[in-house]
Structure 1
């Protein structure tokens, strides 16, 4: 029997430990900050699939409520802290941060097939022709309506109806005694709440946030006409307490059969047509957003997307993850595992060309048409200096839009007149722009 000395054994143990340590630390860990919505939670469940395909990369998730996420990633990227290797951002942040050099350009080479990404989505996430965030799912806005109620009232809804026609339909189907309201729209204050809807309305009335010299235009006749129309429409034909309603509240009302029409995010279409969630699932029709004097900017555009901060020390691993999570292959993975009704939509043309998706999503054609019609680089009738449909992609807009949202919500609630609301919003915007040195 061979005898092994304690020294030899100790050396062997030491070498084994060293090899194990080397293996344990050979994988690069990336930290991904994301929002706590359904599609992102589902992506986390597929982490083992990614790590199996890329054993040299481990993924750590930081999942946050939307407001906290925005605050954390903005602070991290501005301070170049490098806490996150991948962060979930949107069309507001991507061009601003890309211009400032805060984000790595997305690697769109080879099999990624960047041309498959819908042009309006790709453009909204780019600065000077370079894409600085990759879209995970995208959305626009459109009309969702009760076909049974509209037909019973002897009315029709078609693509790009006038807002006047929409008001007439709302009046015809409005029946508060039966708990049915003509129209549901966002009223809750916020640049991403009521002002997302309000800005698309204002765009269609010919309004713009700023003129070519960055002077706020909120006291223009176009803004006054749009906000006055909106307040009158919801006051007469909307549900009680509309000034407190945003997406989730309106979704609940529509699914209960209480809204004749609802104009909101295309992402809602899969919910309102799901019999498990909606009492009126078999009666829902879709149409492109209404207009007043122009189609420009009549429906919004947004994409929750993955960006890579310039401060990361793991650029290559981060690029590998972003390319995987926003690829055609990932969409196919979700479709095959969870069903095609569950895939993230609004990003790639190949999704809409897939017969399996077309069969599962009755809203597919209307959603794609809305997304393709939105142009972040040309969203206003009069010339404007900013990129964005329902927002202006400048750092100051978040504060400006939030204040305007509070004023418009106040006008809807009746605590301010429309003129008072817009004057206050314009004064605040003017102060912000002066302080920022725009003029």
Structure 2
């Protein structure tokens, strides 16, 4: 080998080394919510880094309300703090239309975009382009203690009414033994108590706005909704319900302290997991309640992974998103945790998988609940907005949180339902007029 050849090979080797070093410097900062499925994903990322040693991962794991504040601030200011964000069905269409997100129109063929459930994909698509990849999809349903229901002498229907829920909550409550008939979200936030209450209000014939964007909190329908909710929790709910969100109620249910819990379908795998739940073998499922008006109190949501336009590593970010939301990831979770614990509600193929259906007694009810939610016609009376448990306008996150604070204060006994509704009406009207809707 000549000196020139050795020099050239040496230079090539140095360039290759430099390239590898540069590649290894790619670090993705991922903002996510502190839900069980997301925590599980973090625990499995050795599989990703083994396949992609050139990409390092840094996690920022936050409580739901805090996550929403942080990622909204970052994306609106083009801060570039995160390379991958966990966001929901509310944010994706608004941010995608603003070109704040990287479209996912060139994902690998084996990722199989056509396999995503249409109800879920529709909420993540703007003008035919997918702007986020669903990690898990959900609606809401009733989870209940079968043993307590039996002791109460009641049979839970597959499609209960709110009156039955109230009857069952009263019958199952045993406060001396710290068993509460019902657990519901009370923590203030547009995605916390207002997600539940907005979906619930639909089944009572209420709505956020009429067709002229006039707020509707001064109607009998909202008065009935809020008073029914307060009556349930004040009489049959746990102490401090105004501080309880998804995670707090999940813990209460797993500890055997809730007779019923109406919340996200994604919780089903956690309440039936014997490693986490003391009542895993005594849980049944039913559709979210209704009042015979044609709308049930269930929502539609997906926690999804999106890539902000401000990232300096879009291709690495797509590589991670493809891994975390793929069929292969589902199989990875199944191999480690069992089929019942895979992320639900996103892919048609999962609900064609007999192994999953056999392992997950909640699978059928989850899919039925997702398909029953209609964001384009969420209410009994016509409305100018889309969204079941939210209103798909940029101003809603702020308005929803303010209203949620008033309703949470009513639950805490700091004001009456009438006072909370009056304040909700006034502040919503003020915000909508300032935003130019009226």
Distance 1:281 1:104, change over 3 A: same
1:421 shift after superposition: 0.4
Residue of structure 2 equivalent to 1:170: 169
Distance 1:312 1:245, change over 3 A: closer
**Contact 1:159-1:290 within 8 A present in 2 as well:** no
**Contact 2:213-2:384 within 8 A present in 1 as well:** yes
**Contact 2:24-2:56 within 8 A present in 1 as well:** no
1:373 shift after superposition: 1.4
1:282 shift after superposition: 1.7
Residue of structure 1 equivalent to 2:71: 73
Residue of structure 2 equivalent to 1:31: 28
Q: Which runs of 5+ in 1 are unaligned?
A: none
1:59 shift after superposition: 3.9
Residue of structure 2 equivalent to 1:252: 251
Residue of structure 2 equivalent to 1:433: 432
**Contact 2:28-2:313 within 8 A present in 1 as well:** no
**Contact 1:104-1:310 within 8 A present in 2 as well:** yes
Query: Which of 14, 17, 20 is residue 20 of structure 1 equivalent to?
Result: 17
Q: C-alpha separation between the residues in 1 aligned to 2:337 and 2:343?
A: 11
Q: Secondary structure at the match of 2:86?
A: strand
**Contact 1:308-1:318 within 8 A present in 2 as well:** yes
Q: C-alpha separation between the residues in 2 aligned to 1:241 and 1:69?
A: 23
The more displaced of 427-436 and 33-42 is 33-42
Distance 1:167 1:307, change over 3 A: same
The more displaced of 357-366 and 75-84 is 75-84
Relative to the length of structure 1, the TM-score reads 0.90
**Contact 1:34-1:87 within 8 A present in 2 as well:** yes
**Contact 2:271-2:277 within 8 A present in 1 as well:** yes
Residue of structure 1 equivalent to 2:345: 346
Residue of structure 2 equivalent to 1:145: 144
Q: Which runs of 5+ in 2 are unaligned?
A: none
**Contact 2:289-2:296 within 8 A present in 1 as well:** no
**Contact 1:30-1:318 within 8 A present in 2 as well:** no
1:287 shift after superposition: 0.4
1:113 shift after superposition: 2.5
After superposition, give the CA deviation of every residue in 1:392-436 in whole Å (9 maximum; x if it has no partner). Answer: 122211121111111112222222221110110111111111111
Q: C-alpha separation between the residues in 2 aligned to 1:19 and 1:150?
A: 67
Residue of structure 2 equivalent to 1:91: 89
Distance 1:171 1:72, change over 3 A: closer
1:277 shift after superposition: 2.6
Aligned residues: 435
Residue 62 in 1 paired to residue 59 in 2? yes
Residue of structure 2 equivalent to 1:380: 379
Q: C-alpha separation between the residues in 1 aligned to 2:95 and 2:202?
A: 25
**Contact 2:31-2:82 within 8 A present in 1 as well:** no
The more displaced of 261-270 and 31-40 is 31-40
**Contact 1:88-1:307 within 8 A present in 2 as well:** yes
**Contact 1:118-1:372 within 8 A present in 2 as well:** no
Q: Secondary structure at the match of 1:183?
A: strand
After superposition, give the CA deviation of every residue in 1:223-260 in whole Å (9 maximum; x if it has no partner). Answer: 11111111112222222332222223322332232222
Q: Secondary structure at the match of 1:150?
A: helix
The more displaced of 30-39 and 8-17 is 8-17
Residue of structure 2 equivalent to 1:288: 287
Residue 205 in 1 paired to residue 204 in 2? yes
Distance 1:173 1:350, change over 3 A: same
Distance 1:258 1:85, change over 3 A: closer
Residue of structure 1 equivalent to 2:401: 402
Q: Secondary structure at the match of 1:182?
A: strand
1:175 shift after superposition: 2.7
